[in-house]
Amino acid sequence: MKIKELPYMLYADECGKIYDHPYFRMAGFSGNTLGAISKDDLIKMPSFSKLFYFPGCAPIGVDPETGVPEVVQEIRV
């Protein structure tokens, strides 16, 4: 799967409202390694799943042009 085909990164504002980022793609961990994920790692999110956020922690997304994971320090909503 090409990085540009990955789902967009999700993030939350300080109130916990969830958004999808218009540029960065989702990232994941394999052990201690951070990076883009494989299509084989994706499943449809079960209806009973919950999304969580960590106040004060910046989200990490993959830049679709470079494939490099980046901490997204500022997001305008």
Residue 77 lies in a domain: no
Judge residue 19's burial from the number of C-beta atoms within 10 Å of its C-beta, 0-12 exposed, 13-18 middle, 19 or more buried. middle
Asked if the structure places residue 47 within a domain, the reply is no
Give the global pTM: 0.83
Domain membership of residue 64 (yes or no) is yes
Q: Closest Cα partner for 68 from 35, 30, 44?
A: 35
> Within a domain: residue 63?
yes
Instruction: State the DSSP string of 3-22.
Output: GGGSPEEEEE-TT--EEEEE
Distance CA 4, CA 68 (A): 12
Q: Which domain holds residue 56?
A: 3-42+52-71
pLDDT (0 to 100) of residue 20: 94
Tens of pLDDT, residue by residue, the chain (77 residues): 688 889 999 999 888 899 999 999 999 888 898 888 888 889 999 999 998 888 889 999 999 999 999 999 887 76
Domain count, the chain: 1
32 lies in a domain? yes
Would 9 be classed as within a structural domain? yes
Report the SS3 class of residue 48: coil
Residue 15 falls within a domain, yes or no? yes
